[in-house]
Amino acid sequence: MSPQIPGQITYDIPQQEIMSSGHLACPGCGASLCMRIALKIFGPRTVLCVPACCWAVIDGPFPYSAAGVPVVHCAFETAAITATGVRHGLDIRGIKDCTVVAWAGDGGTFDIGFGALSATVERNENIAYVCYDNEAYMNTGIQRSSATPIGAWTSTTPGEHPKEEPKKNLVEIMAAHRIPYVATATVAFMDDLTRKLKRIRDMEGTRLLHIFSPCPPGHKSLESDSIKISRLAVETKVFPLYEIENGLKYTLNHKPKGIPVQEYTRLQGRFKHLTEEDLKQMQQRVDYEWDVLDKRISLFA
């Protein structure tokens, strides 16, 4: 009988640190943790293509870099096509053992880089695309993006006018492209995240990982609560963990506990203005979206 130690999680993550300390992410940043783990999985033979986003700043100013691998800083709308270009260039030179990753925030993915991303997926370019989604333009001062959830405060949806539109469903749009692989992940579910990172490292074709990434200054939350918020996003069904292969084969990766949404929103100042009625509506919306996903999963399992 193998000994079990409760709470003794055995992580399958390489010890080697590729990303260096001293980067410019705020304390408790989910995006810097994503990158740290992703680089451990991708390994040193990785090229990152980073458009305007938090990571353009986190990596550090010239002549310094925190990533520990080559970073191509590119224009806001060009993460996917820059990665495409790098991939083709490396292929022409016969360099096959590199993972080319477009690493963009939600603004550069959902909004500004969306056209380029769609075209890239349509051509099924051989790149990995990681969208670390902190649900607003955090880097420039917390402006709303199409990834911002309904009801959230941002500096452009302030005071009595929180965002009225629901979050864009990127994963479904990608599935509609029949992308070879698209999945959601978040930092609290580390085994799930590392498994998916390995998958997008080893696959051919366009593959996209959508990572929910808590942001203490933008979500107005405690720095120490980042993992807890990430965990609650999944357990409340706000951000279910699932993957879709070839746009059709759905797999749910973690059965959410179905904790009330309020448990998730109350840890974040961006939701503090919500009334009980608002929260009820939010719960209904989350339940509805979950039902839709659940039906898809049972239909296209």
How far the first Cα of the chain sits from its last, in Å, is: 34
Q: Is 219 exposed, middle or buried (0-12, 13-18, 19+ CB in 10 A)?
A: buried
Tell me how many residues contact other proteins (CB under 8 A). 49
For the CB of residue 69, give the shortest distance to other proteins in the complex, in Å.
Answer: 10
Half-sphere exposure at residue 70, Cβ-oriented, CA atoms within 13 angstroms? 11
Residue with tokens 């402006």: 143
Binding span for other proteins by CB under 8 A among 15-23, 176-184, 199-207, 274-282: 15-23
Q: What are phi and psi of 183, to 5 degrees?
A: -150, 155
Among 139, 186, 206, 226, indicate the residue that binds other proteins (CB under 8 A).
226
Binding map of other proteins across residues 183-222, x = CB under 8 A, - = no contact: ----x--x-------------------------x-----x
Contact 131, 109 (CB under 8 A): yes
For the CB of residue 98, give the shortest distance to other proteins in the complex, in Å.
Answer: 17
* DSSP letter (8 states) at residue 269: G
Query: For residues 159 and 297, what is the distance between their CA atoms, to the nearest angstrom?
Result: 38
Among 36, 163, 177, 207, indicate the residue that binds other proteins (CB under 8 A).
36
Binding span for other proteins by CB under 8 A among 21-29, 91-99, 168-176, 279-287: 21-29
For the CB of residue 33, give the shortest distance to other proteins in the complex, in Å.
Answer: 4
For the CB of residue 57, give the shortest distance to other proteins in the complex, in Å.
Answer: 11
Listed residue (278, 294, 241, 286) closest to 260, CA to CA: 286
Radius of gyration of the chain (CA): 19
The binding site for other proteins (CB under 8 A) comprises 1, 3-11, 13, 15, 17, 19-30, 32-33, 36-37, 59-60, 62-66, 68, 71, 187, 190, 216, 222-228, 231
